[in-house]
């Protein structure tokens, strides 16, 4: 089994290093990279406007990379009297490390569905919520909070940029290296991977690879695109991906 990891850096290289330490053949092909988001300079004011018991949601580890420096530039701190929620364990740990604040997160799956099902979020009418995220994507969290009577605002803390490759060259490279397993952690990257290669590489190689994804939603999308051997990891962090790959 030769594995190609498509998640962004530094997570891609970290997973490849761990796989190689276990004797596996593994390579990285990051499909996206990150840059500061458009709302970072407004973030301190948005946080300061929250009241006791309001809600802050952290939807990825990239938020933790870009938000704290923005607060530091304004001599601002994470407010102590609001409730913090993270999309999953890794994001929660990263946020607690930089802020010292308590943060709740779903333990079963790192998805919006699992997050919105937390018991503490069932009765939140009248509160404000600030969702820290990247570019707009799925709106399930925001829509559900609004349905529950929450005033929702957003802060785009980072943006995603596609990395550009020559599909014909990459197709030859990864077929020659015998890649048989692919790791993909978002729908955007799955679509990008599907579109990257010439049709002959898709049909003869790409869609025949075993695919590791991080949610049932991604598994459904992968099946619609033509993959047949699909495995859903029990989380989106490298520990969960490593368990799936082992």
Look at the domain 2-31+164-245 and name its fold. Answer: Rossmann fold (3.40.50)
CB atoms inside a 10 Å sphere around CB 114: 16
How far apart are alpha carbons 58 and 180 in whole angstroms?
34
At residue 110, the pLDDT reads 78
Each residue's pLDDT expressed in tens, for the chain with a length of 246 residues: 899 999 999 899 999 999 999 999 999 999 999 999 999 999 999 999 999 999 999 998 899 999 999 999 999 999 999 999 999 888 999 999 999 999 999 987 778 899 999 999 999 999 999 999 998 877 899 999 999 999 999 999 999 999 999 999 999 999 999 999 999 999 999 999 999 999 999 999 999 999 999 989 999 999 999 999 999 998 888 999 999 998
pLDDT reported for residue 237: 86
**What are the domain boundaries of the chain?**
2-31+164-245, 35-160
Peptide bond into 10 cis (omega under 30): yes
CATH number of 35-160: 3.40.50.10090
What is the model's pLDDT at position 1? Answer: 85
pTM of the complete model beyond 0.85: no
Closest CA to 120 of 76, 90, 82: 82
């Amino acid at each position: 089994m030769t594995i190609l990891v498509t998640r962004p850096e530094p997570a891609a290289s970290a997973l490849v290093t761990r796989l190689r330490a276990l004797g596996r053949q593994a390579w990285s092909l990051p499909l996206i990279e990150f840059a500061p988001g458009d709302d970072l300079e407004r973030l301190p004011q948005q946080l300061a406007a929250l009241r006791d018991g309001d809600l802050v949601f952290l939807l990825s580890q990239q938020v933790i990379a870009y938000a704290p420096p923005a607060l530091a530039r304004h001599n601002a701190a994470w407010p102590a009297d609001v409730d913090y929620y993270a999309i999953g364990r890794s994001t929660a740990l990263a946020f607690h490390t930089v802020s010292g604040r308590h943060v709740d997160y779903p333990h079963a799956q790192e998805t919006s569905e699992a997050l919105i099902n937390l018991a503490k979020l069932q009765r939140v009418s009248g509160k404000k919520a600030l969702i820290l995220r990247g570019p707009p994507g799925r709106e399930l969290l925001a829509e559900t909070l609004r349905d529950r009577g929450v005033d929702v605002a957003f802060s785009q803390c980072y943006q995603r940029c596609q990395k550009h490759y020559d599909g014909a060259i990459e197709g030859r490279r990864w077929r020659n290296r015998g890649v048989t397993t692919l790791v993909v952690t978002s729908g955007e990257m799955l679509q990008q991977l599907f579109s990257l290669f010439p049709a002959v590489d898709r049909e003869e190689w790409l869609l025949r690879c075993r695919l590791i994804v991080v949610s049932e939603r991604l598994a459904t999308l992968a099946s619609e695109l033509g993959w047949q051997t699909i495995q859903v990891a029990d989380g989106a962090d490298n520990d969960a991906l490593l368990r799936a790959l082992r």
